[in-house]
Amino acid sequence: MKIDPADLEYRDSYKLLSATVAPRPIVLVSTIGEDGVFNVAPYALLTGISIKPMLVGFSVVRKRDGQKKDTQLNIEFSGDFVMSVVTESLAEPMNQASKDYSYGVDEFKEVGLTPVKADIVKSPMVAESPINMECRLVQILEFGEAPRLNSFIIGEVVRVHVKDELWVNDEIQMSKLKAIGRLRGELYCRTTDIFEMKRPFVTD
């Protein structure tokens, strides 16, 4: 089978990309709106971009009518956001947070999560997540065609909060994290099945 993405309709292109770029990490992105209301929503099209400065980025797709999602509107207002790692225990709240709530609805309350004041940014952290990254907006890049434009939001991580039980010998213990990953559609995976391979050492 050979597929040319340019020939695909939007939905089919999404299904193909999400099935091939997998598994993908999932984060809850929390923000604060101009009205002071908190928003939290899951995103799985994300990546680390740079080590120093520590930069992360995630993609936000416009709504079907071309309007920006609450997450992007809030980030454009406040200039910051928080990324929180999604673990097995957060799977159901994460799923509920994917619902398209009306603007101005406190989604923390709707899905049963607890907002916590961040140290540096205005957006709240997720108390239930073992890792929270405070981020300042660096840049927003736009791709695609209207109405379904994609905005790639880049932020600088200015502080990372890690639960003490995960931080051992100056690093995060991946076996204890129990993060989950996104596959395609309604399929997810666990990351507790971990194996190790030593990288080859090459000499001239």
Q: What is the pLDDT along the chain (204 residues), one digit of tens a residue?
A: 999 999 998 889 989 998 998 899 999 999 999 999 999 999 999 999 999 999 999 999 998 888 999 999 999 999 999 999 999 999 999 999 999 898 889 999 999 999 999 999 999 999 999 999 999 999 999 998 888 899 999 999 999 999 999 999 999 999 899 999 999 889 999 999 989 999 898 776
109 lies in a domain?
yes
Amino acid at 18: S
> What is the rounded CA–CA span in Å between residue 136 and residue 26?
19
Domain assignment present for 155? yes
Calculate the CA dihedral of residues 160, 74, 31, 191 and round it to 10 degrees. -70
Quick one: pLDDT at residue 201?
A: 81
| Inside any domain, residue 199 | no
Q: How many angstroms separate the CA atoms of 46 and 154, rounded? A: 10
Closest CA to 58 of 117, 133, 130, 161: 133
| Total number of domains constituting the chain | 1
Domain for residue 180, yes or no?
A: yes
Let me know if residue 130 belongs to a domain.
Answer: yes
CATH number for the domain harbouring residue 61: 2.30.110.10
Per the structure, the complete domain to which residue 141 belongs is given by: 5-190
